[in-house]
Amino acid sequence: MFKCKTVWNKLAPLVRASSTLCLQNARKSGNFCRPAMMMIFRFAKFCVIVVYLFVCLKAYHTVSGDKERYNERMIDIANRPKQGPQAAETVKPAAEEPTLTEPPVEEPPVTEAVVEFTETEPVVEEPIVEASIPKPIVETLVTELVVEASVPESIIEISVTEPVAEAPVVTQSEEPLAPVVESETEPTPVIIAAHVPEASPVSESAAVSEPAPAAEPVESTAAHSGVPEHAHYLLIGGGTASFAAARSIRARDPGARVLIVTEESELPYMRPPLSKELWFSDDPKATETLHFKQWNGKERSIYFQPPSFYVSPADLAKVENGGVAVLTGRKVVHMDVRGNKVKLSDGAEISYEKCLIATGGVPRNLQVIDRAGEEVTKRTTLFRKIEDLRSLETISREVKSITIIGGGFLGSELACALGRRSTDLGLEVIQMFPEKGNMGKVLPEYLSNWTTEKVRKEGVNIIMDAVVKNVSYKNDKLEIKLKDGRLIKTDHIVAAVGLEPSVELAKSAGLEVDSDFGGYRVNAELQARANIWVAGDAACFYDIKLGRRRVEHHDHAVVSGRLAGENMTGASKPYWHQSMFWSDLGPDVGYEAIGIVDSSLPTVGVFAKATAKDTPKAATEQSGTGIRSESETEAVAGTLKAEIMAHPPPIQQEEDYGKGVIFYLRDNVVVGIVLWNVFNRMPIARKIIKDGEQHADLNEVAKLFNIHED
């Protein structure tokens, strides 16, 4: 560039002078033609520019060639073998500063290099003198780095390691150049930038590194037997929602590798039979085998699939067509959403591509029981898992009195189950709750009272308006003192007062928890993050018809898990399903519900006389499954029509509520429906809520459910 500028500075004045001279001569001679002279001037200028560009191009090629030759020279110096002792004595350094060497880049990489230490004096190579910068170049070699030194006008910038005096040299060459000294640690060089000042004739910067101290061994995931290091689909929780998601993922992606991590020691199973059919089984070993007879007499297992359905977690990555693996007895205690990995309770880590949180919930306990001490808490059952079923079944055979606190679904089901056994076992069964009747928060008062009498007939002592004030253990008995002064003595307590969603991972994962309903807040596609979904009891979702909700029932776990699995494979479907739930008070009375069923809302009930087929037992005989939500088909909702009889029997509003439909209203719109001993009609109820219309006469709407059929 300097040459080009010099040429231009010399040529430009000549062009201007010659142009001026020609112009003056033309004026004197009288043959002045301005356009012609302008053309001559422009042509001369063009010639000068062409010459200028040619000189610049030539200078560029010259500089580029110099740089390439310079880099080749530096590489040649780096690869030059060490000189003998005489050459080493030619230069006496101020301090022994060894040099870190590295084999050429062309050699294949070594996966496990042997660390060798060689003590030798540094060798300063003869300087390389460039025409543009007349000063010596200092050889500086960097570990795992080929030096390409750029030559600016005044500063040479070379990458070197931090100099440390009297440090051993690390070599990775095949043949040692000096006696070998073994070392247990490998140096960790710190790369810095060293500038060579223009005034310094020689700069000695030895590329060395201080050996790092022996690092503590890090326990890898491979050390944890049977724990895979990576899972494309990771499902946290081993309940219904996780299994439904796994089945949905495999349906859309047949080669998918799905890993379920569950804190329980059991494979995925259904929870409803724990408080229903298993208690009514004639097989004394039913709680051990977990096989039971449904109301229709058919036998099935509580597990969704046998062990042969699953693959081993250790073999999940090796299976040709993928599969579903279950890692039992492990709890996810930390979640790194940025690194896409989780940490287990045993310290193992698993990375993932997509993750589902389906941790469900834990049974809620009364604070007065938590504060009562160990003697009370160890005589209290929080019913949720298989082990709770087995424990309570054993306790029912050993004690004389059991008190169930809670009048909801679970409390009423367990009260009926234990009450039916009370006569044979000589067991006193007590159920207490703060409401005025069983299912008082769900059913209208008249139906709640009827249900309470039904539970009493099963052999249960009902205590209503019972608010527990204190619990203590005295004289081998638990004493429950109520707020109104009543005192109940019992041997064992079953607390069935609700469920607390498991949101322990929210803090480490940075996920939002809903302050009103609890659970992880998710969008319409059940997403909490771009690659994280939530399903089941732990999901707080937005219902397009009923607003934000959180549902704790089996059908919701099935549907939300299935949808989450579809969306994890790219479906991008919104959650619009109105989940249902059901409860059976034995084989003769049962109901199904959908939407918001709250006894504080206005209700309209339409009832009819029941027949022998209007029982849970008859419903399972017709559907072939005790888990009635699994037999539903969405297509029925749009095709079923009311079969209106010519002369329907009169609606009976008597004490014997055989079967009927209860509508829950908000602003004169149906937001919830309970089908009392009416089965296989849930698609109709779902469609009514989905339409969201006001109905002038709900008696006509009730005819859609064919409750007047014989």
Residue 213 carries which DSSP code? P
Looking at mean pLDDT, say which of 97-106, 141-150, 362-371, 644-653 comes out highest: 362-371
**Overall number of domains in the chain:** 3
Tens digit of pLDDT for each residue in 430-451?
Answer: 999 999 999 999 999 999 998 9
* Residue 79 token pair: 């690869």
The more confidently predicted of residues 19 and 260 is 260
What is the residue type of 57? L
Residues written for the chain: 710
**pLDDT at site 298:** 79
Considering the domain boundaries, does residue 325 fall inside one? Answer: yes
Distances (CA, A) of 416 to 193, 322, 437, 463, 588: 80, 44, 14, 14, 12
610 and 547 co-located in one domain: no
**pLDDT at site 123:** 41
311 and 405 co-located in one domain: no
**pLDDT at site 578:** 81
Q: Which of 467, 482, 498 is the last residue of a domain?
A: 498
Q: Which of 446, 472, 498 is the last residue of a domain?
A: 498
CATH number at residue 436: 3.50.50.60
**Bridge partners, 355 (sequence order):** 234, 532
**Bridge partners, 159 (sequence order):** 193
Q: What percent of the chain has pLDDT over 90?
A: 49
384 and 441 co-located in one domain: yes
* Residue 238 token pair: 């081993």
Considering the domain boundaries, does residue 177 fall inside one? Answer: no
**pLDDT at site 617:** 65
Could you tell me the pTM of the whole model?
Answer: 0.65
Question: Binning pLDDT at 50, 70 and 90, where does residue 190 land?
Answer: very low
Burial (CB count within 10 angstroms: exposed 0-12, middle 13-18, buried 19+), residue 355: buried
Question: Binning pLDDT at 50, 70 and 90, where does residue 43 land?
Answer: confident
532 and 655 co-located in one domain: no
**Once rounded to an integer, what is the mean pLDDT over residues 664-672?**
93
Looking at mean pLDDT, say which of 2-11, 120-129, 143-152, 281-290 comes out highest: 281-290
**pLDDT at site 159:** 40
445 and 527 co-located in one domain: no
What is the residue type of 305? Q
* Residue 124 token pair: 């300063």
420 and 397 co-located in one domain: yes
Question: Binning pLDDT at 50, 70 and 90, where does residue 579 land?
Answer: confident
CATH number at residue 584: 3.30.390.30
Q: Specify the residue for token string 């009103």.
A: 516
Alpha carbons 385 and 379: distance in angstroms, whole number = 17
Check if the beta carbon of residue 238 is closer than 8 Å to that of residue 332: no
506 and 357 co-located in one domain: yes
Check if the beta carbon of residue 310 is closer than 8 Å to that of residue 303: no
Residue 536 confidence (pLDDT) above 60: yes
592 and 661 co-located in one domain: yes
The more confidently predicted of residues 214 and 285 is 285
Q: Which of 474, 498, 522 is the last residue of a domain?
A: 498
Considering the domain boundaries, does residue 9 fall inside one? Answer: no
Residue 614 confidence (pLDDT) above 50: yes
242 and 320 co-located in one domain: yes
Considering the domain boundaries, does residue 322 fall inside one? Answer: yes
Torsion 547-553-556-561 (CA) sign? positive
Residue 585 confidence (pLDDT) above 90: no
10 Å Cβ neighbour count for 224? 17
Alpha carbons 402 and 641: distance in angstroms, whole number = 48
Residue 181 carries which DSSP code? B
Considering the domain boundaries, does residue 171 fall inside one? Answer: no
Q: Which of 398-402, 583-587, 618-622, 651-655 has the lowest mean pLDDT?
A: 651-655
586 and 683 co-located in one domain: yes
**What residues have CB less than 8 Å from 445, skipping those under 6 apart?**
436, 437, 599
Considering the domain boundaries, does residue 55 fall inside one? Answer: no
**pLDDT at site 214:** 40
Check if the beta carbon of residue 663 is closer than 8 Å to that of residue 598: no
* Residue 354 token pair: 């997509």
Which domain, by its residues, includes 331?
230-271+304-363+501-569
Mean pLDDT, all residues of the chain: 76
Residue 385 confidence (pLDDT) above 60: yes
C-alpha radius of gyration, the chain, whole number: 42
614 and 662 co-located in one domain: yes
Pick from 543, 657, 667: nearest CA to 595 = 543
Considering the domain boundaries, does residue 297 fall inside one? Answer: no
Tens digit of pLDDT for each residue in 283-292?
Answer: 888 899 999 8
Distances (CA, A) of 451 to 168, 443, 584, 662: 87, 9, 11, 14
343 and 414 co-located in one domain: no
Considering the domain boundaries, does residue 66 fall inside one? Answer: no
The more confidently predicted of residues 319 and 217 is 319
